[in-house]
Amino acid sequence: MCIIRVVMTLLIALAVLPQMALASENNKTDTNTKSYFSKITSIFLFNKASAKEDVAKEEAKEPEQPEEVVKTEEEIENETILARWKEKQAKKWGNLPKEPFMVNASAYTASADECGNDKGITASGLKVKENRTIACPPEFPFGVKLDIEGMGTYVCEDRGGAIKGNKIDIYMLTKKEAFEFGRRNLMAQVVSE
């Protein structure tokens, strides 16, 4: 804001000062020009009094209280289950990649012909959820969050027989979505908590 004021003041000064110089050469002081210039400068130049008022108003405002995040019973249960896994898989948490890495992503559903049953229970014990659940290689602990390019943030909650190395499997609600997704090479990064 200050930069804009300075630029505007300079532009106005360049427009008005030559007129003032001409007026002084004629030995006729043009009071209209002077009053016009003083009005313009009062608008665009930094006014200390109004600045103090603005600061006082800002200080008088009460700090905004962060909104409490209300968790559902399911979210609390999921966090409890993942906390147990975190204790069991403590060594894996120290070996996570720090830099972005390439994953070979495919998609899966919780249908009976793919999983043996259609209950949708993952290897971690959680129920699958669209836009959250991924199956990760055994090197990744349950509960680790991955930010996947163009997809969002997912949580490692499942395993799969073919999920090794840089492969991951993203849970989709329908087979149609899973087939449309196909197999893609995407960049991913571990989200630090």
Tens-digit pLDDT profile for the chain (193 aa)? 667 776 777 777 667 666 655 555 555 455 555 555 555 555 555 555 555 566 566 666 666 666 777 778 777 777 777 777 777 777 888 888 899 999 999 999 887 666 666 678 888 888 889 999 999 999 999 999 999 999 999 999 998 888 999 999 999 999 999 999 999 999 999 997 6
- The pLDDT of residue 101: 94
- The pLDDT of residue 152: 94
Q: According to the 3-state scheme, what is the secondary structure of the chain?
A: CHHHHHHHHHHHHHHHHHHHHHHHHCCCCCHHHHHHHHHHHHHHCCCHHHHHHHHHHHHHCCCCCCCCCCCCHHHHHHHHHHHHHHHHCHHHHHCCCCCCEEEEEEEECCCHHHHCCCCCECCCCCECCCCCEEECCCCCCCCCEEEECCCEEEEEEECCCCCCCCEEEEECCCHHHHHHHCCEEEEEEEECC
- The pLDDT of residue 79: 79
